[in-house]
Structure formats: structure tokens, C-alpha cells
A = this chain, B = another copy of it.
Amino acid sequence: METIKKICQGDVRSASRLIRDVEDKIPSAKAKIKKLFPHTGKSFIIGITGAPGAGKSTLIDALIAELRKKKKDIGVLAVDPTSPFTGGAILGDRIRMQRHVEDPGVFVRSLATRGALGGLSAAVGEAIHVLEAMGKEIILIETVGIGQQEIDIINHAHSVIVVLVPGMGDEVQTMKAGIMEIADVFVINKADRAGAKQLHMELLSMLHSAPAAPENWQPPIVMVGDVYKPEAFADKIAELEKKIEEHHTYLQNSGKLVERIYRKTMVEINDALRANIMEPIMYKLQESGELQSMIEKVKNREVDPYSAAEEIAKRFIK
């Protein structure tokens, strides 16, 4: 297939179109992703998450520049959550990354996860495969620290960077369920602001309250300061890049990379099973009007939802 060949050669236009088709759930996109699949799995995938306004895009922009010094071929996927109610994207364009547009070694795309209430959708996994097939050595996935997406990133990335900023309630945010456990590298961004030291101390004490075994990875904290003090800023970005690389090496040497790849694969299979089993059954129940009459009966307490579901399951499952 022409498209597949082109994407594997790194063609930006074909890749962009396929990502758009994945986003729009065009049926033919799935067949293409299947054909691309044998060419995937060779990239190192880094997730970057943090609250809106934490400065993730500026950070990623600088990180791209740092990685480009090492001639790495880079893909960036910015995941835009859209409200399940209004359908509108709550984030604007990522104009801060525009300076890399002319660089053929950098491919940046955003992906709207429409209606994916319940975390990062399967579309993210498929879009990542497009970037992998393009031959990107490093893929950066930017997700907004909004609810489930923040924790779901661990299912898509090999390494997770959590970006915090002082004075945004991060002291509370750090306590969020799961967030401490998914971070491989912490960044305290805008570290020249008041409250940065306190946030640093709180993070440290949390990390020490549940210390990693000596052979395990201890998440480092990188303090990134004022973007308008270019030299100091660049030093910190270089430090961040080094920590990411160290974590990559750790994952490889400890066997943890294999574990994470295993989990990623498992999640992908789970998602595919749900799409192939639950979705067609729900569709049939809806088409036949049975779902509607079931809702009515449960609503009127003529049947309980558990018995109704058991009966449906008996009919549909072999």
C-alpha cells in the first residue's frame, strides 16, 4: 500500500492524514494501522504530564532543541482533551513549538481525544504507532494533567515526566492518587517563583517517606527556572535531558523496559478486545431497540440491571 510505504519513509503529509483519520475514526484508518504495526515498537516513548499552565509546551520546545543537538529524530504528540459535554477543545494551538516546523527531524501533531471520557483513548495508541512507523527515535507525548489522562499516560509511555509549578496548588496535587507512583522524573517548572523551595521540600519528603530500594530508580527532581535567562534555562534543560537518558539506560539494564512494554501491549490488547466485543453488542442492542426497552424496565424497577445484563450475556456469548 502506497500510504504505508510513504509513512515508513517518514512522509509527513501521509502521516498527518492518517493521524487525522484515526482521530475522526475513519474505518479505513484501522486497516492502515494494522499494516503499519510490524514497523512499530522501536521508539522510546516519553510522557509529559502536568496541570494546565504548568509550562509543558515551553519545556517540550526546549527539550526538542536539546535532543536535536544529538541528531535524534523526534515525534511529538500533544493530546488535547475535549470536553465530553461541549465537544470543544479546551487548549489552543501549540504555537510555542512552531519554531521546529521547518526542521524535518521534528514532527509535531496534536490529537483531540473526543468523547474519550475515561482517559486516553485507543486513538492515542494508534497515533503513536504512526510516529513509530515513521522511524522517530524519540516520541514525546504531552498530556494535560486533567484527571484520568494523567495516570493513563503510564500505559502509553516508557518514561513519565511530571511537571509541577509552585503556587498552583501543586502541594495538594502531588498527593493525587497515582501521580507520585507514575513519575520517573519530576520537573519543578518556573522554579524562580515563590514557593518553589517549599514544593521541592515537600516532594523530597514524600519521596523519602516511601524510598525506592537501592537498586531501583529514585525519581530525580529537576528545578527549571526563568525562560528569560537563556543560559541558566538551557543548563537545566540539558540536565533534564540527561536524567531522561539515565532513566532510559536504567530501564534497559534493569529489565524494567521489558516490563513496561509488556504492560503497554496488554493495555492495547484490552482496548482492542473491548472495541471488538462490547461495541458491536451495544450497537446491536441499540439498533434493535432492546437497549431502550431495557432502560425503561430497569427504570420502572420491573427488572434489576444485573439480571438483565446476565440474560444479554447468555444470548451473546458462546
What copy number does this chain have within its complex? Answer: 2
| Contact of A269 with B305 at beta-carbon distance under 8 Å, contacts A52-B172, A82-B177, A169-B51 already known | yes
Distance (whole angstroms) from the CB of A44 to the closest CB of chain B:
16
Closest to A40 in B: B301
A34 to B309, CA, bound (A): 12
Q: Are B168 and A295 neighbours in the complex by a CB distance under 8 Å?
A: no
Q: Are B304 and A51 neighbours in the complex by a CB distance under 8 Å?
A: no
Closest to A281 in B: B277
A53 to B221, CA, bound (A): 25
A58 at the interface (CB under 8 A from B): no
> What B residues does A9 contact at CB under 8 A?
none
A134 at the interface (CB under 8 A from B): no
Contact with B along A65-97 (1 / 0, CB 8 A): 000000000000000011111100010000000
A265 at the interface (CB under 8 A from B): yes
Q: Are A295 and B315 neighbours in the complex by a CB distance under 8 Å?
A: no
Question: Which of A146-154, A197-205, A239-247 lies at the interface with chain B?
Answer: A146-154
> What B residues does A312 contact at CB under 8 A?
273, 276-277
Q: Are A168 and B172 neighbours in the complex by a CB distance under 8 Å?
A: yes
Which of B146, B172, B272 has a CB less than 8 Å from the CB of A177?
Answer: B146
Which of B41, B169, B294 has a CB less than 8 Å from the CB of A269?
Answer: B294
> What B residues does A119 contact at CB under 8 A?
118, 148
> What B residues does A306 contact at CB under 8 A?
30, 33-34, 37, 272, 276
26 contacts between A and B (CB under 8 A): A34-B304, A34-B306, A34-B307, A38-B304, A52-B172, A83-B178, A83-B181, A84-B151, A85-B178, A86-B181, A90-B177, A117-B148, A119-B148, A146-B177, A147-B148, A147-B176, A168-B169, A169-B173, A265-B299, A269-B305, A273-B278, A273-B309, A276-B309, A276-B310, A277-B317, A317-B318
In the A-B complex, the 3 residue pairs with the smallest Cβ-Cβ separation, listed nearest first, are A169-B169, A147-B147, A272-B309
